[in-house]
Homo-oligomer: A and B are copies of this chain.
Amino acid sequence: MDESLGEIGEFGLIAELTKLFPQGEHVLVGPGDDAAVLRVRTGHVVVSTDMMVEGRHFRRDWAPAADIGHRAAAANLSDINAMGGRATSLTVALAAPADLPVSWALEFAKGFADEAGLVGASVVGGDLTQADQVVVAVTVIGVCTVSPVLRSGAQVGDVVALAGRQGWAAGGLAVLGRGFRSPRVLVEAYRRPEPPYDAGGIAAEAGATAMIDVSDGLVADAGHVATASGVAIDLHRAAFEIPEPLHAVGAALGADPLQFILGGGDDHALLATFPDVASVPDGWLVVGGVGDGEGVTVDGDAFEGPSGWTHF
C-alpha cells in the first residue's frame, strides 16, 4: 500500500491494524470497544508504560518499520520480564504525520504483534492520532505467579548477575551513528533486540532478591538497584565476555569495547541479584557483588564512560 494515513483515514487504518492482532484466550473483548476486557485470576497484575519518539528513540531511516515495532514491544515486554512476570496484554498508541505511509504503520504493527507473540501476549487496544513526529506509547500488562522481584531487594553479600546479550545494541547504534551498516550482527542487535524473555521468571523462581531491565545502561541501571536497595554494587571487568564483533567495532572507532557493555542499554538484558553463586540459574553470568555503601563501581573505581541515557 502506498497510501498515506491522511488518505486511508483513522478508522480505515484501525480496521486494517486490528486484523494483525490475534487475541489470546484471556482476552474476552479485544480492540474496538471503549475498553478491552481481560479475564484475570486473583493475583498480582504488573503494568508498565513507555513512550518512543522518532528521532530520539528510533529513526525511520535506520531500521525498517517492522524492526521498530519489534523494539517497541520488546522494550515493554522486558519490563514485565524484569519483575519475574509474564506479559499477557499490550496497548499501543501511535501519533504520526498525515503523510506517513500506511504501509509503515502496518509493518510496524506486524513487527509489534510478532514480538508480543513470542511471549504469548495480545495487543488488546490502541489509539491513533496525528502529530508532527511519530510517537509510540505502549502499555503492557502482565501477571506474576510468584512475588514480583523489585529493584529494592538487593542485600549486602548478594552476587550480581546478568542474563542476555549486553552491549551489542550499543555497538550497533555506534556503527549506525557513524553512517556504517556493519558489523551486521551488531546493527541487527540494535534493530531487533532479543531479550531473554525466559530469564525473568526463572530468576524469580530461583530467589532473585532484586531485578531490573537494562534499558538506561548497565552501570546506570545497576545504580537504580543500588539506590532502591540502599547498597553499593561493584561490577567486575574480567567477568564480562566481550564478543568478537564488539572488539572489531572498538578497534575501528578507537573505543574500549567494554564501554559498550557498561554503558549500553538497548539489548534489554536483565540484571539481578541473588543470595549466593549457588542460587544463580543457568544462563545467568555473575558479573559483580553487592556491598555496603552506595553507588556503582567497576573493579572498585568510579566508571568513567557514559553511564546511561537521560531524556532531558
Residues of A within 8 A of B (CB): 5-6, 8-11, 13, 28-29, 32-53, 56-57, 79-80, 82-83, 85, 89, 91-95, 98, 124-133, 135, 137, 139-142, 144, 148, 150-152, 211-213, 228, 310-312
Chain A residues touching B, majority SS: strand
Chain B residues, Cβ within 8 Å of A85: 35
Q: Is the CB of A40 within 8 A of B42?
A: yes
Give Cα A228–Cα B83 distance, bound, in whole angstroms: 38
**From residue A61, how far is it (CB to closest CB) to chain B in Å?**
18
| Residues A34 and B151 in contact in the complex (CB < 8 Å), given A49-B127, A53-B130, A133-B132 | yes
Pick from B10, B33, B44, B47: contact of A151, CB under 8 Å: B33
Copies assembled:
2
Q: Is the CB of A38 within 8 A of B48?
A: no
| Residues A47 and B40 in contact in the complex (CB < 8 Å), given A53-B95, A56-B129, A311-B10 | no
Pick from B34, B36, B43: contact of A213, CB under 8 Å: B34
**From residue A24, how far is it (CB to closest CB) to chain B in Å?**
13
- Can you pick out 9 interface pairs between chain A and chain B where the beta carbons lie within 8 Å of each other? A34-B211, A35-B48, A35-B148, A37-B83, A47-B89, A47-B141, A49-B139, A51-B127, A51-B137
Q: Is the CB of A312 within 8 A of B35?
A: no
Q: Is the CB of B46 within 8 A of A35?
A: yes
Pick from B32, B34, B312: contact of A79, CB under 8 Å: B34
Pick from B50, B142, B312: contact of A93, CB under 8 Å: B50
**From residue A218, how far is it (CB to closest CB) to chain B in Å?**
15
**From residue A277, how far is it (CB to closest CB) to chain B in Å?**
24
Q: Is the CB of A142 within 8 A of B35?
A: yes
Q: Is the CB of B35 within 8 A of A47?
A: yes
**From residue A71, how far is it (CB to closest CB) to chain B in Å?**
15
Pick from B8, B41, B95, B139: contact of A42, CB under 8 Å: B41
Q: Is the CB of B130 within 8 A of A83?
A: no
**From residue A192, how far is it (CB to closest CB) to chain B in Å?**
21
| Residues A148 and B53 in contact in the complex (CB < 8 Å), given A10-B312, A38-B44 | no
Chain B residue with minimal CB distance to A6? B312
Chain B residues, Cβ within 8 Å of A47: 35-38, 89, 91, 124-125, 139, 141
Chain B residues, Cβ within 8 Å of A212: 34
Q: Is the CB of A33 within 8 A of B311?
A: no
Pick from B9, B37, B38, B311: contact of A312, CB under 8 Å: B9
